[in-house]
Amino acid sequence: MQPRSFCEILLEGLATDGGLAMPDSYPRLTLANLARLRTLNYRDLAFEILSRFIDDIPAVDLKRLIDNTYTAKVFGSDDITPLKTLEPGLHLLRLSNGPTMAFKDVAMQLLGNLFEYVLAASKRELNILGATSGDTGSAAEYAMRGKRGVRVFMLSPHNKMSRFQSAQMYSLTDPNIFNIAITGVFDDCQDIVKAVSNDEAFKTRYHIGTVNSINWARVSAQIVYYFKGYFAATKSDTEQVSFAVPSGNFGNILAGHVARMMGLPIKHLILATNENNVLDEFFRSGRYRPRGSAEVQQTSSPSMDISKASNFERFIFDLVGRDAAKLRELWRAVDSGGEFTLAGTPLLDKMRTFGFISGTSTHADRVATLRAIHKKYGVMIDTHTADGIKVGLENRECDVPLICLETALPVKFGDVIKQALNVEPDYPESCRGIEQLPQRVDVMAPDVVAVKQYIEARCY
């Protein structure tokens, strides 16, 4: 396949059916490179890392886009992703101080600015159509609000999100943001997005795109905080650390894998799943058996309730030595609803060299963990972060610092936190009273034709 530029991939990554773009090779950092990166603030670090992947935006423009994205105003502090030390050798990397209080803001905020820039340069416009059960939709809306050339049409299941999540999305009044509450479940929303995207003529005519988690630009923006966390937790560039990552679509931890391939001294990438433990099963046994959507359990860490992890194929591509034919062979079975296993093949041993360890966390585990962390350190965490910490602590090694990624603030999942701790979660200043604000949302039946008409009427 022809190599393509970063901006082409940025816009193509919008296609729901698009292949998974990857850089030709990973840039390798020397010890001298690491020593220099260690001295940089988040913005300069982001520029250094991202300019190794972004080949077609002039450096001055990229620097400006990054500087405008990662500000104390948007992320609460100049650290952007501050490291909180719970005890010596145990840290929490706080990724959820962006506008929607989940780690997805870190990449999505940059994406919003990149889109605006690329669309203006090519005189194009874009209508983002998405389905959300909570975090992705709000992160996308807060990243795209007020951006020239972009409209967002976000479908959400009527009355199925947490009160806080609904308020976050529906209280937006920007004229380029459209909230559509579908009287159905998340899968109905997803089906409408698929049906609209499969209508090529409509899609082309109305410049329809999506911002799903396979967008390579999102993965690349997430690489930065692995470096930031590493430097904050260590004193020299020869020390190793491990990261614990609560995983759903494998996007967050894939960025950790890339950081490790670039030469960041990561010993283990500790992957945590909830009861939907397809990935834990794979990393333990080599067997990859994605579930049907009917088999997906609804849990108290809902952003990790997935049937198959859309970014996982990128890791397998590296595992098979970037042999596209081998990858296609494995995915032929997966795409037809089947499975594959690496057990009994040399690939199983090779897999162990990539540093992954995994584990599963259940509802009882996450409740026990968030209680224990609150009691021992006085720190309130959310249910997803609790899954990561639970599996991280199980695999902690005494001489290797453990950095647990915080993926959301507890306020987003207030009911579970309140049940577990018997106290209301802390409310960040920026979202006090959000549930009382007027809401703007159109309620619609799960009807593809009606949704298309809705979009038509608003694109001129």
Ligand X SMILES: *Cc1c(COP(=O)(O)O)cnc(C)c1O
Report, as residue numbers or ranges, the catalytic residues: 104
Residue list 372-391, contact with ligand X (CB under 6 A): 384
Name the one range near ligand X by CB under 6 A: 109-117, 169-177, 242-250, 391-399. 242-250
Q: Nearest 10 degrees: CA dihedral of 18, 24, 30, 33? A: -60
Which residue has 């101080």 as its token pair?
97
Q: Is 247 in the site for ligand X (CB under 6 A)?
A: yes
Instruction: Please tell me the count of residues contacting ligand X according to CB under 6 A.
Output: 16
Contacts of 155 (CB under 8 A, 6+ apart): 129, 130, 131, 132, 180, 181, 182, 189, 192, 193, 451
Binding mask 299-318 for ligand X (x = CB under 6 A): ----xx--------------
Q: Which C-beta is closer to ligand X: that of 101 or that of 181?
A: 101
Q: Is 252 in the site for ligand X (CB under 6 A)?
A: yes
**Per-residue x/- mask for ligand X, residues 85 to 104, rule CB under 6 A?**
-----------------x-x
Q: Which element (helix H / strand E) includes 272? A: strand 266-273
Contact flag: residue 408 with ligand X (CB under 6 A) = yes
Query: Which residue in 99, 157, 251, 359 binds ligand X (CB under 6 A)?
Result: 251
Residue with the two structure tokens 């990935």: 279
- Distance between CA atoms of residues 280 and 363, nearest Å: 16
In the chain, count H helices and then E strands. Answer: 20, 13
384 versus 396: smaller Cβ distance to ligand X:
384
Contact between 213 and ligand X per CB under 6 A? yes
Of the candidates 103, 38, 87, the residue with the CA atom closest to the CA atom of residue 396: 87
Site string for ligand X, 122-141 (x = CB under 6 A): -------------x------
Measured CA to CA, the distance from residue 352 to residue 62 in angstroms comes to 37
The C-alpha atoms of residue 49 and residue 219 are separated, in whole angstroms, by 12
Q: How far is the CB of 379 from ligand X (least distance, A)?
A: 16
Q: Is 249 in the site for ligand X (CB under 6 A)?
A: yes
Residue with smaller CB distance to ligand X, 248 or 286: 248
3-state per-residue secondary structure call for 353-384: CCCEEEEECCHHHHHHHHHHHHHHHCCCCCHH
CB of 100 to ligand X, least distance (A): 9
Q: Of 267 and 384, which CB lies nearer to ligand X in the complex structure?
A: 384
Closest of 185, 149, 388, 385 to residue 298, by C-alpha:
185
Q: Catalog residues that contact ligand X under the rule CB under 6 A.
A: 102, 104, 135, 213, 246-252, 303-304, 384, 407-408
